Structure 1
C-alpha cells in the first residue's frame, strides 16, 4: 500500500508528517509516494495560521477526490483538523477521517475507523515513542515540547495544539543518539516556545530547563550542530544567552519573533514584553556573539496600529538589521482574542499593504548591504546540497550563523564541513571557494 502526504505550514507540521509516515511504514506496511493518484491513503496535514486555510483545504480535498484511485482514503490532519473537527466531514463527503494535531500518534488506529474524528486537545502525545523516522540528508527535526501556554491575541495555536507539555529528557536524548547513528549532523529542536522547556511534564521528572537541555544535547556524540525554533523573547534570560554563546554545538543563529516594534501594539498582542526588552536582549546577545545571525517575524497592520506604531517597527529593523525577515499583513482568525476586537481598530488593507512593502524593501536593502560586507569572510559550511548543470558541479550549505553559501566548481560530499571564503555577492546570494 502507498501513502501520499501533503504538508502545509510550519516545521512542526513537517515533523508531524514524518511521525505519521514512520508509524504507517512500520506498523501498516505503507510506502511513501509522490503521486497522489497511485496512493491508497492521502493525508492532508493542515495549517491554521494563515488567512482562509479552510478555503484552501476544501479546494485541496476536491482535487484529490477527483484524481484519486478507487477505494483510496482521504484523511485530514493537523491544526485545521483540530479546530474544525467533525465539520470537515459534514462539509466534504470525500473525507474518511479527521485527526487533530494533538492526536497524530493515533494514525494507525484511525485509518481503520470510517468517518472517525480524533481531535482531543487534552490528549498527551509527549510520552509516546514514535517509530523511528527515516532520516535522509544531514539535518533532522526533533520535538522537545507540544502545545502552547501563551495567549497571544492573534494566534490560534493554543486552540489547535492544546496546553504546553515538555517531552521527557530521556526520550529526547534517545532520539538524538539514534539520529546521530543514522548520519545526522544537525538537529533543529522544535517547540512553540522552545526556551520554555521544562515548565510542565506529564509525569514526575527531574527539574530541567532549556539551558540544561542544550547542555545535555551538547554531549551527544556525532551531532555537530544544534538549532532551535522558536524561542520566546520573554524567556531569553542572561543564563540562556550565555549558554547560547558558550555551547560548542549551538549554531550562532537564532529566530527571535518580534511581531511589532511598538510596545503599545505588543501589549495589545499580549506578547508579554516591550520594545525596550526586545532591544535589550538583542544588544546583550550581540555583545556575547558579535556575528550572530538573527531572524524574526513581523505582523503589520495589527488592530489599532498607527503610523507611529509602525515607525517603531522600522526603528527596530534599523537597530537589529535582521538577517531573515518573515513579514505578513495581519488577518483575523476565528478562535483568537483579536477576532473579537472592536472592528473600528482594523487597519485598512491598502495602508497595511503599503507598510508591508516599505518594511520589506528596507529589509532587502539591509540584506544587500550585509551580503556585500560578507565578501572576504570565511565560514565553516555544512554541505547540504550538491548539484550540477551545464556550467559544472556546485555545492551549497549554511554557515554556523545561517548564511547560505554557494560553492563554485566543487562537488563536495553531503554532510561534509568545509572552510569557505566568500568571494562575491550576486543580488544578495553569496558565492565562495573552499580554502585550506
Structure 2
C-alpha cells in the first residue's frame, strides 16, 4: 500500500472524488438499466427475426371430401409443430392451397388464388390433384409443391418455403399413415380415406392421373382408426375414396369385409354413425346383398351415392364407365327393396361428346323414373390429357340448354312431401350457414334443421318434423338422447308407429350445411359447394384453439425434426433459391415494441455520453 494513501485529502480533491463517486454510483445503476434494455431488444429482435413464433398458415381446400381429409391432416401436422392456422389470407405468413382437377372451374379458382398470393408476395405451397397430375402447368412456376401421397411431409415443405426455397415432393409408393395429427373442420365428423386411386379408366377423368391406381389401407388400420376417433368424440364417420366399391381388390379383401369390421367398432348406443362414400356401379353389383345388410344396421346411414353419369348406354360406352343403364337400375332397385327408407344420390354429365338429343332424352327419363332427391348435374368440361378432350364436342349452347332443362326437371320433385308430423331420430353435427339452425340427419340422411343451443352439437335427439322444404326439412326437438342411454320406451313407441322416411341431402343450392362427397370419376365433387368446403364456414372449437398455438416448444420440435430429417428425395430444386421479399432484406414495418426498445437504447447511450462529458468538465474545473 502506498505510504501517502492515508494522507489527508485537500478540500478540492475531496469534493472532486465525492462528485466522481456520486456520478459513478448513478452511472452504475444507469449502466445496468441500459444493458438490460439493450439485451431485451436483442432478444426480442432475435425471436422476431429467427424463431418466428407468430408464423401463421392459411389453408384453402378445393374439391372432394378426400381433399378435405388431406387438408385436415396437413393442418394437424402444422399445428403440432407450432404453426398457427388462420382463416384470413392477409394475416397469414404462407398460403397452402389444396387443389382439385376434376373440372375446369375448380382449377381456374386455384389459378386466381395463386395469382393473388404471388401479387401479395406470399410464400405459396400447392398440394392436391392439380400439381400431382399436371406438374408443369404455368401457374405452378415458382411455388412449392407437395403431392397427394406426400402430405405427411408438409411441415418440411412449409419450413423450406418460408426460408425462400422452392420444394417439389411428388413421387412416392407408400400411403400416408392414418394416425397423423389432424385438425378437423368439424370436430364431430371424421373423413376417413379407405383407399386412393381407382380401377377405372373413364375417358373424361383427370383424377386418375393424380391419384393413380388403386391403393387400399388394411382393414385393421382402418378399424383401429375408427376406434381412435370415436374415443376423440367423433359422432359421424365418412368413408371417403375415389371409388369405395373397389376397396380392397388390390390387397385381397373387399368392401363388405371392411364395413363389417368398422361396424363392429361403433358404439352400441348409436351415438356414432357411419356414412358409406361414393361407389361406382361395377364394383358393388356382386356385393349388393352384403352391402344392403350393412346399410340396415342402426349405426349406418341408409344412404349411398352411386353416379350414373348418363341414361344412355352409348354415352356410357364412350365414357368407358364399364356398366349399363340396366345394371345401374339393378343397384338402385335392389338396395331400395332390401333397405327400408333407402335413398340414393347420383351424378349426371350433360353434353358429353357425341351426346345426341335421344341420348339426353334417355337421361331425363331415367331421372324422372326414380325421382332422385339428390342429383348433381354438371356440364361436360374437357380436361387436358384425357381421351374425352380429343373427342368432338357438343356445341356449348346446347350443353347449357340441356343442363338447364335437366335442372328444371330435378327441381320440380318434392321428395319430402308427407314427412310433416313424423317423429325421427337425428344426429346433430353442424351449424347452418344462417347461424340460427343446427343441422342433423335422419337414419336415411334427410337433412333436418332445428332451432337449438350449440351445446346440442354432437348429440342425438328425437324430433318431430314440423315443415318441409325443397332441400331439407324442419324439426322440433322432443327429447335429447345422451351417449349412453337409449331412447325411452315412449319414444320407441312413437318411432315404431312411423314409417321410414324418404331421404335426401341438400344440393349445393341449399342454404344449410351439407356434405362433401368424392366423385372421382364425375365432373364435380358431390355437394362440392357445401358449406364444409367454404372458407367462411363456422369452424369448430378445436380449430380455433389450434389457431392460437404459438409456443417455443413447437418451434424447438420442428427445428429438431428439420435436423433429423434431411431432404432425401429430389425435393429442394437446385438453383431455385428464390428468396421471398422479406428474406431479401426488404425493410419491415417497425412495431411499437421495436420503436420503444430502440428509443430506450438511444436515450441510454446519449445519457451515458452526457454523464461522461459532464464528469470530465467537473474534474478539469476542480484542478
TM-score by length of 1: 0.89
Please give the alpha-carbon distance, in whole angstroms, between the structure 2 residues aligned to 1:268 and 1:389: 43
Please give the alpha-carbon distance, in whole angstroms, between the structure 2 residues aligned to 1:263 and 1:53: 29
Structure showing greater relative contact order (alpha-carbon pairs closer than 8 Å, 6 or more residues apart): 2
Which residue of structure 2 lines up, in the alignment, with residue 115 of structure 1?
A: 166
Please give the alpha-carbon distance, in whole angstroms, between the structure 2 residues aligned to 1:10 and 1:40: 26
Which residue of structure 2 lines up, in the alignment, with residue 355 of structure 1?
A: 402
- Structure 2 SS opposite 1:296: strand
CA offsets, 1:376-420, max 9 Å, x none?
A: 333211112357999xx6433111212111224676611111122
Moved more, 169-178 or 180-189: 169-178
Partners of 1:300 and 1:330 within 8 A in 2: yes
Q: Does 1:34 align with 2:87?
A: yes
Partners of 1:103 and 1:125 within 8 A in 2: no
Which residue of structure 2 lines up, in the alignment, with residue 62 of structure 1?
A: 115
Please give the residue correspondences for 1:174-323 in structure 2 after superposition, counting only pairs within 5 Å. 174-201=224-251, 207-222=252-267, 224-236=272-284, 237=286, 238-323=288-373
Please give the alpha-carbon distance, in whole angstroms, between the structure 1 residues aligned to 2:397 and 2:434: 43
- Structure 2 SS opposite 1:312: helix
* C-alpha distance 331-286 of structure 1, shift in aligned 2 (>3 A): same
CA offsets, 1:142-190, max 9 Å, x none?
A: 0100112210111011101111100122221222111101111110001
- Structure 2 SS opposite 1:229: coil
Partners of 1:5 and 1:42 within 8 A in 2: yes
Please give the alpha-carbon distance, in whole angstroms, between the structure 2 residues aligned to 1:111 and 1:427: 44
Which ranges in structure 1 are unaligned for 5 or more consecutive residues? 202-206
Please give the alpha-carbon distance, in whole angstroms, between the structure 2 residues aligned to 1:274 and 1:230: 18
Partners of 1:380 and 1:400 within 8 A in 2: yes
Please give the alpha-carbon distance, in whole angstroms, between the structure 2 residues aligned to 1:115 and 1:408: 49
Moved more, 51-60 or 373-382: 51-60
Which residue of structure 2 lines up, in the alignment, with residue 6 of structure 1?
A: 60
Which residue of structure 2 lines up, in the alignment, with residue 147 of structure 1?
A: 197
**1:36 Cα shift?**
1.7
Please give the alpha-carbon distance, in whole angstroms, between the structure 1 residues aligned to 2:75 and 2:457: 24
Partners of 1:81 and 1:88 within 8 A in 2: no
Partners of 1:422 and 1:430 within 8 A in 2: yes
Moved more, 234-243 or 248-257: 234-243
Which residue of structure 2 lines up, in the alignment, with residue 20 of structure 1?
A: 74
**1:56 Cα shift?**
3.0
Q: Does 1:47 align with 2:100?
A: yes
CA offsets, 1:102-124, max 9 Å, x none?
A: 3222212323442222222xx23
Please give the alpha-carbon distance, in whole angstroms, between the structure 2 residues aligned to 1:353 and 1:304: 15
Please give the alpha-carbon distance, in whole angstroms, between the structure 2 residues aligned to 1:286 and 1:9: 29
CA offsets, 1:184-216, max 9 Å, x none?
A: 111000111112111114xxxxx4211011101
Partners of 2:198 and 2:246 within 8 A in 1: no
- Structure 2 SS opposite 1:111: helix
TM-score by length of 2: 0.63
Which residue of structure 2 lines up, in the alignment, with residue 430 of structure 1?
A: 473
Matching residue within 409, 426, 430 for 1:381: 426
Please give the alpha-carbon distance, in whole angstroms, between the structure 2 residues aligned to 1:324 and 1:387: 19
- Structure 2 SS opposite 1:396: strand
CA offsets, 1:241-280, max 9 Å, x none?
A: 3333443322101101111011111111011111111111
**1:427 Cα shift?**
4.7
- Structure 2 SS opposite 1:131: coil
Pick the structure with more strand per residue: 1
* C-alpha distance 130-86 of structure 1, shift in aligned 2 (>3 A): farther
Partners of 2:432 and 2:438 within 8 A in 1: yes
Which ranges in structure 2 are unaligned for 5 or more consecutive residues? 1-54, 479-490, 492-623
Partners of 1:394 and 1:411 within 8 A in 2: no
Which residue of structure 1 lines up, in the alignment, with residue 39 of structure 2?
A: none
**What is the number of residues matched between the two proteins?**
415
